[in-house]
Structure 1
Amino acid sequence: MIKILIADDSVFIRKILTTILEKDPLLKVIGNAKNGEEAVALCKELNPDVMTLDVDMPKLNGLEVLERIMPTNPLPVLMVSSLTSEGAETTLKALELGALDFIPKLSKSGGLNVFNIESDLIEKVKAVAHRKAIMQRNLKNKTLLNNNPSRSTLLSGTGSSYQPTHVSSLASVTRNTSRPTKDVVAIGVSTGGPPAVQKILSGFEADFPAPILIAQHMPASFTGPFAARLNNICKIQVKEAEHGERPRPGWAYVSPGGKHLSLEGRMGSLTLSVREEPKDALYKPSANVLMESVSLLGRRALGVILTGMGSDGMEGMKILKQKGGRVLAQNEASCVVYGMPKAVVDANLADEVVDIENMSVAILNNIYQ
């Protein structure tokens, strides 16, 4: 049984969310908080497995709630977010503070989103619930390290097989050739993606030698603010992709939500395509569409699949591998949801399985091998 706390100042929204969640026999709403202070108190008192958290609440807003609970009592949080540019900015900040994902904000009239989000909400709650144990173990390890730094070697890999590595420049990366062997990096990602993408891109210097194309499952109103936020943080340039522009080294291009990003042309005259077709794709943007498109570069393409539900990207990676491209997949221990990478790994398509802490290094090494 997955225990859920709902934090929202609207009685109507609390009731609707409870009704939706308890349609699944594995989900149980154990508490409701009508303001931020109650949310913090009930997290401690009821020890829920997952919390849905509204942003605009009395006493403490959603961001302030995250600032209170994540340092001492972390748990999986799904933000209830309005699909506006303002809602996007707040939600992206919430993800930086430790929230794992978001769901669309319901209208108090009942309207459009009540039934549209039902399966998505249930699926996301189930997908993120397992992260609670990992989040609390990480907090415990961090506390032990702070109290006893000599244990850092023992605990640095707890729960996974990695040793954290940080790169400050391309000089830190092993190069087997003086020139890059890859002309494009394509990234497919979904649930848990924004912090993962931020971690990767912030590990690159401004002279990164290839363009980076990103298919992040995200609403149309979110992708522009997401790209702008990354651009303010990273040394490379980041922007929302535009149809017909030529991709440049040292730039990352985020696919607009509701459309597909792909690569067209041939060496020396490559352009970005931003289109609605194929309209029947399950996700827009689609990682499958992106990965299949970059396969036109064959062995000079690098595909990266990150955290996310489902299997988007796996079919595209098959084609990329057939054309000689190389594939990296995020490891299970560092994924919010080990769905998309698992599909790639299970299909024996991954050349390397990498912890998110080391993904920047792995990408750079693959660009020069």
Structure 2
Amino acid sequence: MAIRVLVVDDSGFFRRRVADIINADPRMTVIGDASNGREAIELNDSLKPDVITMDYEMPVMDGITSLRNIMIRRPVPVLMFSSLTFEGARVTLDALDAGALDYLPKNFDAVAKGTADMRRQLTEKIVAVSACRMGRQDKMAEPSVTTSKAVAEVPVTSAPLVTVAPAVTVASGTVRADRDQALAPAVRESAPKQLKGVELVLIGTSTGGPAALQTLFKSLPANFRKPVIIIQHMPASFTQAFAERLNSISSLNVKEAKDGDRIVPGHVYVAPGGMQLMVESRGQAAIRIRESDERVNYRPSVDIAFASAAKHFGASALGVVLTGMGADGREGARLMKASGGHIWAQDEASSVIYGMPMAVTKAGYVDDVVALKDVGLKLATELV
């Protein structure tokens, strides 16, 4: 059955072009469109789409308010179209906090021309997030609710509109513990053990990562002394805003990584978007930021960061692979394991997209499979 998509944008031209791209793919079909956030809520209730694409700047009701109401009334995977500016990054991060699963750059030229890259990104993301629908309905944490005058002035049929505190943890499907057991039986049967000598933690993630990382870093105590490097697939204009957001909720010092940064215990470094991050240990451990080869799909790449950790840190490095599309991190995890390093992977039940964690788990490189809610505590208690 084709994936049913609702397209939401205040530009009629943009809605038509997005609909043309979606309808050209036999796996999906557009079942309706809306020009503002209020219409989006109403059509989500009546048409029951599998996926919504949404802009954030619209009349009557903005995309973030609409999204929060959708997650209360009838949760559904939402892809946000985002401006590639610093302010656009902030709004997109708000959308991810509010329940959106992923985002795409809002590029009028690319949409107007229907470029191959635009078509591929849009359709692949729709297919990927559509599988999360049942998990979001069954597993989303119950958010706290408060009403606001601004929302009350825009009534919609049936359930009232609300302003909600965003839920930052979502699951991607019914619990599949049996599958995790089959993929990593040794992990499930072994007792927890402390990791001695780990001096660097690297965390790789993609789709679902911003929310997952906020959950993780809220649980890490201020006395956690291991340096952490985050490799999150993000555009260049997003990572500074994301680092600032993590810094505001974490007890640790979080910053966007710069070339030459010394790797200091208790500090967290976010790999800059559009570039490649590597680590080195000659004398003082440090970070190197380099331009990316055009042939590398991900910028930053988990594989490249993990490979540099394998070379320079060996058995003293721990790689953690969280939710994300694709298999970035699998080759890097292989190199880390070959050099004596350690690998953890997020479990399927708590992953928004079980792509990257599944890739390293199925390849046999994982020492432990961990639910997202347990990663922070496990890092704090098992690294000695």
Structure 1 residue aligned with 2:120? 119
Deviation of 1:365 after TM superposition, in Å, equals 3.7
Looking at structure 2, the residues matched to 332 and 22 of structure 1 have their Cα atoms a distance apart, in angstroms, of: 31
Q: TM-score, normalised by structure 2?
A: 0.84
Q: In the alignment, is residue 100 of structure 1 matched against residue 137 of structure 2?
A: no
Deviation of 1:200 after TM superposition, in Å, equals 1.1
Looking at structure 2, the residues matched to 288 and 303 of structure 1 have their Cα atoms a distance apart, in angstroms, of: 10
Structure 1 residue aligned with 2:10? 9
Q: 1:118 to 1:206 in 2, by over 3 A?
A: same
Deviation of 1:277 after TM superposition, in Å, equals 4.2
Looking at structure 2, the residues matched to 358 and 207 of structure 1 have their Cα atoms a distance apart, in angstroms, of: 18
Deviation of 1:336 after TM superposition, in Å, equals 1.4
Structure 1 residue aligned with 2:300? 285
1:245-269 CA-partner distances (Å, limit 9, x unpaired): 1011111100110111111124x51
1:280-321 CA-partner distances (Å, limit 9, x unpaired): 311110000110111121211100011111111100110100
1:202-247 CA-partner distances (Å, limit 9, x unpaired): 2112221111011111000000000011111111011000101101
Deviation of 1:93 after TM superposition, in Å, equals 0.5
Which segments of 5 or more consecutive residues in structure 1 lack a partner in the other structure?
144-156, 163-173
Q: In the alignment, is residue 45 of structure 1 matched against residue 46 of structure 2?
A: yes
Structure 2 residue aligned with 1:217? 233
User: Secondary structure of 1:31's partner?
Assistant: strand
Looking at structure 2, the residues matched to 342 and 76 of structure 1 have their Cα atoms a distance apart, in angstroms, of: 21
Looking at structure 1, the residues matched to 202 and 110 of structure 2 have their Cα atoms a distance apart, in angstroms, of: 41
The size of the alignment, in residue pairs, is 340
What is the identity, as a one-letter code, of the residue corresponding to 2:212? A
Q: Is the 8 A contact 1:311 1:339 kept in 2?
A: yes
Looking at structure 1, the residues matched to 317 and 231 of structure 2 have their Cα atoms a distance apart, in angstroms, of: 15
Q: In the alignment, is residue 199 of structure 1 matched against residue 215 of structure 2?
A: yes
Looking at structure 1, the residues matched to 258 and 194 of structure 2 have their Cα atoms a distance apart, in angstroms, of: 34
Q: Is the 8 A contact 1:77 1:99 kept in 2?
A: yes
Q: Is the 8 A contact 2:4 2:29 kept in 1?
A: yes
What is the identity, as a one-letter code, of the residue corresponding to 2:94? K
Looking at structure 2, the residues matched to 74 and 176 of structure 1 have their Cα atoms a distance apart, in angstroms, of: 39
After the TM superposition, which of the residue ranges 106-115 and 12-21 deviates more from structure 2?
106-115
Deviation of 1:106 after TM superposition, in Å, equals 2.8
Structure 2 residue aligned with 1:78? 79
Q: Is the 8 A contact 1:261 1:273 kept in 2?
A: yes
Q: Is the 8 A contact 2:257 2:271 kept in 1?
A: yes
Q: Is the 8 A contact 2:324 2:352 kept in 1?
A: yes
% identical equivalent positions: 43
Matches within 5 A, 1:135-284: 135-139=136-140, 159=175, 161=177, 181-266=197-282, 268-284=283-299
After the TM superposition, which of the residue ranges 315-324 and 107-116 deviates more from structure 2?
107-116
Deviation of 1:112 after TM superposition, in Å, equals 7.4
Structure 1 residue aligned with 2:167? none
What is the identity, as a one-letter code, of the residue corresponding to 1:367? L
Deviation of 1:41 after TM superposition, in Å, equals 0.1
What is the identity, as a one-letter code, of the residue corresponding to 2:261? E
Structure 2 residue aligned with 1:171? none
Q: Is the 8 A contact 1:224 1:256 kept in 2?
A: yes
Which segments of 5 or more consecutive residues in structure 2 lack a partner in the other structure?
144-172, 179-191
Structure 2 residue aligned with 1:150? none
Q: In the alignment, is residue 341 of structure 1 matched against residue 357 of structure 2?
A: yes
Q: Is the 8 A contact 2:258 2:289 kept in 1?
A: yes
Q: 1:278 to 1:272 in 2, by over 3 A?
A: same
Q: In the alignment, is residue 311 of structure 1 matched against residue 311 of structure 2?
A: no
User: Secondary structure of 2:26's partner?
Assistant: coil
What is the identity, as a one-letter code, of the residue corresponding to 1:48? P
Q: 1:66 to 1:316 in 2, by over 3 A?
A: same
After the TM superposition, which of the residue ranges 104-113 and 337-346 deviates more from structure 2?
104-113
Deviation of 1:366 after TM superposition, in Å, equals 3.8
1:75-101 CA-partner distances (Å, limit 9, x unpaired): 100001111111100000010000000
Looking at structure 2, the residues matched to 260 and 352 of structure 1 have their Cα atoms a distance apart, in angstroms, of: 27
Deviation of 1:109 after TM superposition, in Å, equals 8.8
Deviation of 1:327 after TM superposition, in Å, equals 0.3
Structure 1 residue aligned with 2:313? 297
Provide the alpha-carbon RMSD of the alignment.
2.2
Deviation of 1:279 after TM superposition, in Å, equals 4.3
What is the identity, as a one-letter code, of the residue corresponding to 1:275? R
Looking at structure 1, the residues matched to 305 and 194 of structure 2 have their Cα atoms a distance apart, in angstroms, of: 28
User: Secondary structure of 1:70's partner?
Assistant: helix
What is the identity, as a one-letter code, of the residue corresponding to 2:199? D
User: Secondary structure of 2:242's partner?
Assistant: helix
Structure 2 residue aligned with 1:129? 130
